[in-house]
A and B are shown apart, each in its own frame.
Chain A
């Protein structure tokens, strides 16, 4: 298990693409893009269904294995208004009913702003960024000038690994710089984009449901 210590708090990185904040019993999750396949279908483009329900199932498994008091969604929970149909609404409601004791914060991302907040009955506390809590900052977009250490999403970060024999692997990752961290996108129907990594940054890639730290071995 990979744990990162920041300001005397322990953050456990989960290969399921989420972070568990031990002291606060809080789960950090980013970029689910629920209803993305429904958005495509709404526009007449066929894609398989099943991504939304399987993502909620994965989230449930995580919650069942950990003690979760609170979840902070770092934005882009819903993909688009046109994909937030009855089926997706019901799936989200079922999920909420199963986890009705948990406090849920949603920091609105660019997709959420267009899709709108989930129904009030679902009891998601929706906030515009930044959300500051117990000495840490939470955002959807990566911060520009933050005083508290920040966790953000939006980027869907990945890195390109290079090996001998002309081998390349592009893998989603957790990224930690001195001032902020980027979470990989949780949704299974999401792509990723390559990020720039500086010396001294920490990168953990996710490969086949395993988490591996990439050591800086360039020199």
Chain B
């Protein structure tokens, strides 16, 4: 487990690990000694590894394990631990087999959700969310916010999402993939987000010299304002190109998007309408990092909105 987490826990304190309540006894020579706890705790370890995308092999393995679960083959201790979660997933929805793609439709107070679970890892899902969002928004003007994790992604809109129509129209098609990704990139704010890093590295966002008392307020601007200014007054600028390139590379090469789409296309689509959030959908719902995309007129969007009074 991650040192940064365990070093903050004092001996005698309780935390949750692999679904078990554990009490810390000691840490020595990179070994953590624990015993089963009797007290309760809400300390749950979190590691940077959890933010790292699944590899091809691992995502394949997860889909294989899920298929076993769906067939009732539950051999390992770990799988036995998550039986209650599996129970609820099967109660409200299904556990997809390897040959199936699970799509969950959920209407909540927030609006209309479409959760899609390809189990291909974060990076692929980031790309797939933008791509499918873009392809759906070609059918009708619509606004999405999108979230994703290693299992799947969520498209959320204030309107009902025409998912069946979109699937018929080739939602996961590999045709026109490159162009559609470029278009989805323009529509979403992915490049803007990437530009934050680029603005910092290239020195556009100036934090001031350490220890210097001289005010540098007059040369401070947010990376998102700079991004807009660059786009309007210098659209050919290489820093903008770099931001788009980095997103594209992440989407196309690292993310194996093409191969994922080919696999998805061979799947049987299982569209499940459910009233409750399922164990699979909840972690995606809870993710606060959301991308945006819209093909609606801004006036129409404003008319549907209201002021956040304080």
Binding site for B on A (CB under 8 A): 37, 39-40, 43-51, 54, 79-80, 82-83, 111, 114, 159-167, 169, 171, 188-191, 196-199, 203, 205, 207-208, 210, 212, 214-218
The answer on a CB contact under 8 Å between B302 and A207 is yes
Note all chain B residues with C-beta closer than 8 A to A51.
Answer: 229, 233
In the bound complex, how far is the Cα of B165 from the Cα of A199, in angstroms?
43
Note all chain A residues with C-beta closer than 8 A to B203.
Answer: 44-45
Cβ contacts B171-210/A at 8 Å (1 or 0 each): 0000000000000000000000000000000111010000
B225 close to chain A: CB less than 8 A? yes
In the bound complex, how far is the Cα of B105 from the Cα of A116, in angstroms?
61
If the complex has contacts A48-B234, A189-B229, A207-B298, are A165 and B157 also in contact, measured as CB distance less than 8 A?
Answer: yes
Of the A-B pairs whose beta carbons lie under 8 Å apart in the complex, a sample of 9, sorted by A's number, is: A43-B216, A47-B230, A48-B229, A48-B230, A165-B157, A169-B301, A189-B221, A199-B309, A218-B306
If the complex has contacts A166-B111, A166-B145, A214-B302, are A49 and B233 also in contact, measured as CB distance less than 8 A?
Answer: yes
Note all chain A residues with C-beta closer than 8 A to B292.
Answer: 167
B206's contact among A45, A164, A167, by CB below 8 Å, is which? A45
Note all chain B residues with C-beta closer than 8 A to A54.
Answer: 233
Note all chain A residues with C-beta closer than 8 A to B242.
Answer: none
- A32 to nearest B CB, angstroms? 14
If the complex has contacts A165-B143, A165-B156, A189-B225, are A214 and B233 also in contact, measured as CB distance less than 8 A?
Answer: no
In the bound complex, how far is the Cα of B225 from the Cα of A217, in angstroms?
30
Residue with the highest number of chain B CB atoms closer than 10 Å, among A161, A167, A189: A167
A169's contact among B230, B290, B302, by CB below 8 Å, is which? B302
Note all chain A residues with C-beta closer than 8 A to B111.
Answer: 164-166
- B202 to nearest A CB, angstroms? 8
Residue with the highest number of chain B CB atoms closer than 10 Å, among A46, A114, A218: A46
In the bound complex, how far is the Cα of B279 from the Cα of A85, in angstroms?
61
A165's contact among B145, B216, B222, B226, by CB below 8 Å, is which? B145
Q: How many residues of B contact A (CB 8 A)?
A: 41
The answer on a CB contact under 8 Å between B306 and A45 is no
Closest 4 CB pairs of A and B: A165-B111, A48-B234, A48-B233, A164-B158
In the bound complex, how far is the Cα of B239 from the Cα of A95, in angstroms?
32
Q: A48-B237, A210-B299 are in contact. List 20 more A-B contacts (CB 8 A).
A: A43-B206, A43-B219, A47-B230, A48-B234, A80-B218, A161-B302, A164-B158, A167-B305, A188-B229, A189-B225, A191-B222, A191-B225, A197-B307, A199-B309, A205-B302, A207-B302, A208-B299, A215-B306, A218-B307, A218-B309
In the bound complex, how far is the Cα of B234 from the Cα of A54, in angstroms?
13
Note all chain A residues with C-beta closer than 8 A to B222.
Answer: 191
- A49 to nearest B CB, angstroms? 7
B219 to A, closest residue via Cβ: A43
In the bound complex, how far is the Cα of B229 from the Cα of A50, in angstroms?
10
Note all chain B residues with C-beta closer than 8 A to A44.
Answer: 203
If the complex has contacts A47-B204, A49-B233, A210-B299, are A159 and B307 also in contact, measured as CB distance less than 8 A?
Answer: yes
B161 to A, closest residue via Cβ: A165
- B192 to nearest A CB, angstroms? 13
B48 close to chain A: CB less than 8 A? no
Note all chain B residues with C-beta closer than 8 A to A210.
Answer: 298-299
In the bound complex, how far is the Cα of B301 from the Cα of A205, in angstroms?
13
- A176 to nearest B CB, angstroms? 14
Note all chain B residues with C-beta closer than 8 A to A46.
Answer: 202, 204
In the bound complex, how far is the Cα of B219 from the Cα of A47, in angstroms?
11
Note all chain B residues with C-beta closer than 8 A to A162.
Answer: 305-308
In the bound complex, how far is the Cα of B221 from the Cα of A197, in angstroms?
25
A216's contact among B225, B237, B305, B307, by CB below 8 Å, is which? B307
The answer on a CB contact under 8 Å between A39 and B219 is yes
- B199 to nearest A CB, angstroms? 10
- B133 to nearest A CB, angstroms? 12
If the complex has contacts A48-B234, A164-B110, are A198 and B309 also in contact, measured as CB distance less than 8 A?
Answer: yes
B36 close to chain A: CB less than 8 A? no
B304 close to chain A: CB less than 8 A? yes
B269 close to chain A: CB less than 8 A? no
If the complex has contacts A162-B306, A167-B292, are A79 and B156 also in contact, measured as CB distance less than 8 A?
Answer: no
B229's contact among A47, A197, A203, A205, by CB below 8 Å, is which? A47
